[in-house]
A = this chain, B = another copy of it.
Amino acid sequence: MPVQLHSPDPAQLLPVAGVRIGTTQAGVRKANRRDLSVWLLAPGTSVAGVFTQNRFCAAPVQVCREHLQHGPEVRALLINTGNANAGTGADGLARARRTCAALADQLGLAEQQVLPFSTGVIMETLPVERIEAGLRAAIDAARPDAWLEAAQAIMTTDTLPKAASRQVTIGGKAVTLTGIAKGAGMIRPNMATMLGFVATDACVAPSLLPALVKEAADASFNRITVDGDTSTNDSFLLMATHQAGHARIDALDSVEAALLRDALKSLAVELAQAIVRDGEGATKFITVQVDGGRDAAESRQVAYAIAHSPLVKTAFFASDPNLGRILAAVGYAGIPDLDQSLIDMDLGDVAVVREGGRLANYVEAEAAQAMAASDVRVRVHLNRGAASETVWTCDFSEDYVRINADYRS
């Protein structure tokens, strides 16, 4: 039950010069599901990515890292849903490589010019034959305006596809950024989410891409959580085809870079928030803002403790302002010298706690009303510094359990 989220209007998803996408039904896990995508990138495209910090990272993540580090120019992406190819050992690695080789063969490329991505059930054998059999149809279907299908073809428990575009003018030229993302459970990205892809036709020095993608991930996918489970397959990729025709951006601190960076961050935040709004079983979108930390790390630590607490999340589900649970999470977040007598807390516009205790004039009915909204903000002030951090999460409903007790069947 997505929270204030709608299927993207295909007309609003702008093609990016130099990028064509084809999708097909390969039957990776289930029949009659768009589950295989091939992305074709024009020569000269630059690519940078950030990947999961999960030490049990999936085979395709390992292959992506290799190809990006040592390979020639990336010219194609190969993405499947239905099978994560994680926890599959040496055999899984070999299978990921085999799918890259198969696509490279059909496109006249080297294996290292293909980046593989997988999402779905962990610890199942990747059905390479079915993927190979679907490649030709996906390649033949490739077109510049297939972004909605691309978003559909990476869904797992997502109820809606997630895609968005931005357009900015740089050096008198229209620059387009379009991206897609997926994810609804096993969402607590660490460096990236499972999966996000953004393409732009901006002309930007390839050496700047790693910084751009990291900055965008840190401001977006690295600020969300559904269930605290960091996936084995998180990947966030930025592709720049350099075809917009403006003068190349060579420095991150230029005015032109600022335009691009803002557009990229705004797009990434929209996609990341869409993942939370479509979080498994979600009925509420919750912004957790922690002010007054000594540094960003401790503000984030407190924000995540709140955002991960099953008790806080079930209270939001019930619209029950049992807000002491938030204080408990602040207290166990792991700041050894936290002074509870300095803590303030607000729920939306309702002041709840000052100096560690409930305000005398607090009216629970007002908090209950604030909590009943579909978008709710919790603000905690630690009053020990100036660092402010925000994370986004959703509530925890019986449907989350139902979905995850049923996911494979």
Contact = CB atoms under 8 A, between A and B. Distances in A.
B87 A232 contact: no
B90 A358 contact: no
A407 B320 CA distance: 9
Please state the number of chain copies in the assembly. 2
Given A311-B227, A357-B88, A357-B90, A331 B54 contact: yes
A312 to B, nearest CB: 8
Contacts of A92: 357
B327 A122 contact: yes
Give the interface centre of A91, A324, A325, A328 by most chain B CB atoms within 10 Å.
A328
Contacts of A206: none
Contacts of A11: none
A329 to B, nearest CB: 7
A400 B331 contact: no
Interface stretch (A144-152, A195-203, A332-340): A332-340
A335 B56 CA distance: 11
Give the interface centre of A308, A310, A315 by most chain B CB atoms within 10 Å.
A310
Interface string A76-104: 00000000101111111000000000000
A53 B340 CA distance: 12
A310 B229 contact: yes
Contacts of A190: 332
A91 B401 contact: no
Contact of A324 (B122, B315, B329): B122
Contact of A87 (B55, B188, B324, B400): B324
A186 B408 contact: no
A39 interface: no
A contact residues, range: 35 or more
A333 B121 CA distance: 20
Nearest to A231: B328
A402 B409 contact: no
Interface string A393-409: 00011101110111111
B327 A232 contact: yes
A329 B186 CA distance: 10
A184 to B, nearest CB: 12
Interface in A362-409: 396-398, 400-402, 404-409
A259 interface: no
Contact of A310 (B123, B227, B331): B227
A258 to B, nearest CB: 34
A27 interface: no
Contacts of A87: 324, 327-328, 340, 353, 356-358
Contacts of A407: 320, 322
Contacts of A230: 328, 331-332
B402 A398 contact: yes
B341 A89 contact: yes
Give the interface centre of A121, A322, A405 by most chain B CB atoms within 10 Å.
A405
A311 B229 contact: yes
A221 B406 CA distance: 32
Nearest to A360: B91
A330 interface: yes
Closest 6 CB pairs of A and B: A89-B357, A122-B324, A56-B331, A123-B324, A318-B405, A230-B332
18 contacts: A55-B333, A55-B335, A55-B340, A56-B331, A56-B338, A56-B343, A89-B356, A89-B358, A92-B357, A122-B322, A186-B311, A229-B310, A232-B327, A311-B404, A315-B404, A318-B404, A320-B405, A398-B402
